[in-house]
Amino acid sequence: MLDKVHDLFRLRTSPVIFFVSAGLIAVFVILTLVMPEGMASFWGAGSGWIYDNLGWFYISGLTIFLIFLIIVGFGRFGRIRLGQDDEKPEHSDMSWFGMLFAAGIGTILMFWAVAEPANHFAEPPRGESTGVEARSMEAASEAMGFTLYHFGLHTWTIFALPGLAFAYFIYKRNLPPRVSSIFQPILGDRIHGPIGKSIDIFAIVGTIFGVAVSIGLGTLQIHAGLAQLFGVSDADWNFIIIIAVVTIVATISAVLGVNKGIRRLSNFNIWTAIALLIFVLATGPTVYMLRGTIEWAGVYLSMLPELAFWNDTLADTGWQNGWTIFYWAWTVAWAPFVGIFIARISRGRTIRQFVAGVLGLPTLFTIIWFGIWGSGVFDIEFNGDGGLVDSVLEDGVETALFAFLAEFPLAPVTSAVAIMLVGVFFITSMDSCSLVLDDMCNGYEGKAPLHQRAFWTVAIGTIAALLLTATGEGGLAALQEVALVFGLPFFILGYFIMYNLSRAMREDAGEVGFLRTRRWLQTLPPEEYERRMEEADASLAEAVVAPDYAEGTQPENAPELEHAEQPPVVEEYRVRTGETPIIDPANPGDTGIPPRG
């Protein structure tokens, strides 16, 4: 049945993964529209249990993941290249850096640049337990320490750990771009079976929820800016228009692909964000902001060892649940998508370059970004007329950025630029997400019909629009709680990632030279393998269904592995001599395989 529907719509994907994922998402949307309060209550109970019982698990786990990445990145395995041993990076450093933010936390930086320092300044996270008085200089220092903790090394660890694993298994072992591929050392060719498909379906659904929450929150911020500039009302159709515009542009970008769409938008946005940052620095208290940025970097580094294990045990204020644990659980929910996307743009880099780049560069930019904006907030409160923090607390965090820009010259222009930045950051999040979701369903990169690729951006936009307008805060709250609950299994996945990645590197790497590794043949899902066989695709000369490596690529001193026994589909549709395919790339039509039927 699913195959017939699949062929009717001219798709090229895994029918089970695609339709089951879409069906589960549709069921959630329908139930939320029918009973938003009930859904919010149900999922809220689950997220509440996580808050009350597993906060320590998130805090300690992320620190363990960070330590693991540093050890792997700067140990002997750091020299392994994510791709062929002589492969070069596909994208320039600047384009790579821009796309990291496009899929990562570019949207979050815009949303919280002013709001988080202002909130922690007015309500110090550890105020009563440490004697820090609200709105004092000590409160300002602690506010910046917590803000940078939330958006620095630990947040990027959430993306870097799965990203490194995906890059290794996809480009070193040539496995499908799916979450199930991470389990290949344990599951073998069962990554194509029910267990593997269940993992991928769960990952797709959880990613959709996490990104849809971000789109919903971003829509609120864009609307707040438009309301300030043009007096746009709170009517539902205004929210629908905002989401529709973002979705249309994201769909076009996704159809164009990484190089023509996402890369160009990402480069444009990162340069525009830097220009806005320079404008704020130049027209504001420049020296004050520069001094503050350096000081906040020191505050962050000094507080980091304590915060990395701080669980609010003694005071037990509950503050950590609403901020730190919420951030970690929500961000983890869309870590599979960001991880695969970062892997996709990082091919050809060494593990050391990957770890240093994904952890170091964004964290450095985050320190500069929040250092300048946060110092500007404190300057207004301590040396100016004040009132900005009160405005943020009264009007909501979505208005914070625009209230801040109102204190600077050319406020209408900079606010318009900020609205555009928020919009484009959400566009690049949606289009990169759609590409990754499509690859996860297909089990390979490329060759997907354009309407199939566009489906995911439309789905994300539709979910955000329906839940934001038809159910109001109830639907968005329910979706947020779902994302938090789905984030827990993904967080547990981190421990499997560490084990499987370590095991794979030990299996593949030798001890001499530049760590020559086995060259793994490309692994395709069975249904895609059959399609390419019928098309006489020459790429099958280097493809298998059961994960396997090429003959003659066994490095010295590496443990022996047996070649995988290929499933029946290979015996039926592929002509092989021993372990070497006889499909001639120069004459791929001559396969000797009779047509079906």
Residues 53 and 139 in one domain: yes
The token pair that represents 367 in the structure block? 């320190």
Task: Give, for 576, the enclosing helix (H) or strand (E).
Answer: strand 576-577
CATH number (domain holding residue 199): 1.20.1730
The token pair that represents 458 in the structure block? 């439309």
Cβ atoms of 104 and 362 within 8 Å: the answer is yes
Residue 414 has what pLDDT?
A: 94
Is residue 396 assigned to a domain?
yes
Is residue 110 assigned to a domain?
no
In this structure, the number of other CB atoms found within 10 A of the CB of residue 42 comes to 15
Cβ atoms of 322 and 159 within 8 Å: the answer is no
Cβ atoms of 367 and 360 within 8 Å: the answer is no
Residue position matching structure tokens 């991880």: 339
Residues 443 and 532 in one domain: no
Q: What are 580's strand-pairing partners?
A: 577
Q: Kindly tell me the burial class for residue 8, based on how many C-beta atoms sit within 10 Å of its own C-beta (0-12, 13-18, 19 or more).
A: exposed
Contacts of 248 (CB under 8 A, 6+ apart): none
Is residue 146 assigned to a domain?
yes
Residues 476 and 528 in one domain: no
Alpha carbon of residue 269 to chain centroid: 17
Residues 200 and 147 in one domain: yes
In this structure, the number of other CB atoms found within 10 A of the CB of residue 404 comes to 26
Cα separation, 253 vs 427, whole angstroms: 8
Angle value at C-alpha 446, between 441 and 452, nearest 5 degrees: 55
Residue 259 has what pLDDT?
A: 62
As for how many domains the chain has, the answer is: 2
Full-model pTM:
0.84
The one-character DSSP state at 76 is G
**380-402 per-position pLDDT tens digit:** 999 998 889 998 888 888 889 99
Cβ atoms of 331 and 156 within 8 Å: the answer is no
Residues 277 and 207 in one domain: yes
Q: What are 577's strand-pairing partners?
A: 580
Cα separation, 499 vs 496, whole angstroms: 5
Kindly give the parts of the chain with pLDDT less than 50.
511-514, 575-597
The token pair that represents 246 in the structure block? 């973002």
Is residue 503 assigned to a domain?
no
Residues 360 and 468 in one domain: yes
3-state DSSP assignment of residue 509: strand
Where is the domain boundary, 489, 512, 533? 489
- CA distances for 286 relative to 281, 297, 366, 441, angstroms: 5, 17, 18, 49
Residues 49 and 188 in one domain: yes
Q: What are 110's strand-pairing partners?
A: none
Is residue 501 assigned to a domain?
no
Is residue 91 assigned to a domain?
no
Is residue 111 assigned to a domain?
no
Residues 567 and 481 in one domain: no
Residues 453 and 533 in one domain: no
For residue 575, give its domain range.
Answer: 522-581
Residues 404 and 476 in one domain: yes
Residue 593 has what pLDDT?
A: 43
Question: What's the helix, strand, coil split of the chain in %, to 5?
Answer: 75, 0, 25
Amino acid letter for position 377: V
Where is the domain boundary, 437, 467, 489? 489
Residue 472 has what pLDDT?
A: 59
- CA distances for 516 relative to 173, 365, 375, 496, 553, angstroms: 13, 34, 49, 25, 9
**267-280 per-position pLDDT tens digit:** 788 889 899 999 99
Amino acid letter for position 580: T
Residue 333 has what pLDDT?
A: 81
Residue 514 has what pLDDT?
A: 47
The token pair that represents 257 in the structure block? 């692909």
Cα separation, 508 vs 560, whole angstroms: 10
Residues 352 and 478 in one domain: yes
Cβ atoms of 295 and 127 within 8 Å: the answer is no
The conformational region for residue 116 under phi > 0 = left, psi -120 to 50 = alpha, else beta, is alpha
Residues 389 and 341 in one domain: yes
DSSP string, 81-115: BSSSTT---SS-HHHHHHHHHHHTTHHHHHHHTTH
